[in-house]
Amino acid sequence: MNPLGFLCIVLGVLFVALFALSLNRIKRRKIIGSALYGLQGIVVFLLLIVALLIFSNLNTYKRLTHENEIVDVLVRKLAKQKFQLVLIYPQPDAINGEPEYYSLYGDEWQLDTRIIKWKSWANVIGLDSYYQLERLSGRYANIEQANDSPPSAHQLTGEQKGLSIWKLKNLMKSNMPFLDAYYGQSIFVPMRDGAKYRVSLSQAGLVVRPVNESATRALDAW
């Protein structure tokens, strides 16, 4: 258990005990004893409030810096500026546990997502950012080549089931006080044979990091 959380429990128990003793002294008409226990109880209560505020702040910090792994991306070169990307999802989030394969043209791969971010107080009670993978596409480093070459893109959003959070957002608008922001975000990194990247989501947004040496070299030379 978190030491600060344990301290809060101890202070809470101590406050209840002192409060009970103070009431007992009142019933026995021992005013001075009751006042002493009451003062001690007030001091303990104030310490409890301070400890709870600190504990709450630390809990907020941990939640705001927490990252959820979304997908691993493995790159395989098929030809010049043609690559196969393998999307490997964490087992708990995978629909069938099988990797997904996509062919892309270009020098970099780009992942587009939609993100819903909650107010900080909503993070405290357990609401983390929500995301929806939307599109995977190839990207040319040279703008002229990008204009002259046909795009290669794949839709990642499958059939929507249940109530779409985006439709709910449009219906409620200002009636969602816990909603901080909703936006689209894209990340793109270079494609290199054998490179493996990991995409994660924090309260600040998407983060992509190299997993192996090939991906590290690709980013260093980018």
What pLDDT, on a 0 to 100 scale, did the predictor assign at position 41? 85
Beta-carbon contacts of 161 under 8 Å, excluding residues fewer than 6 positions away, are none
Determine contact, residues 62/180, Cβ cutoff 8 Å: no
Cα–Cα dist 67/27, whole Å: 55
Say yes or no: 80 and 186 in one domain: yes
Q: Which two tokens stand for residue 185?
A: 């975000």
What percent of the chain is predicted at pLDDT more than 90?
36
> Rounded mean pLDDT of 106-120?
88
pLDDT surpasses 80 at 74: yes
Say yes or no: 32 and 115 in one domain: no
Least confident among 22-36, 163-177, 197-211: 163-177
Contacts 24+ apart (CB under 8 A), 171-178: 177/119, 178/118, 178/119, 178/121, 178/122, 178/127
Last residue of a domain, one of 64, 85, 109: 64
Coil, strand or helix at 14: helix
Quote the pTM value. 0.68
Say yes or no: 36 and 134 in one domain: no
Least confident among 22-31, 38-47, 180-189: 22-31
Q: In what order do the strands lie in the sheet with 179-190?
A: 153-155, 130-139, 108-118, 179-190
Say yes or no: 35 and 71 in one domain: no
Q: Which two tokens stand for residue 170?
A: 């449009």
Question: Domain range holding 27?
Answer: 3-64
pLDDT in tens, 129-154: 777 888 999 999 999 999 999 889 99
Say yes or no: 77 and 34 in one domain: no
Residues in the chain: 222
Number of structural domains the chain divides into = 2
pLDDT in tens, 27-46: 777 778 778 888 888 898 99
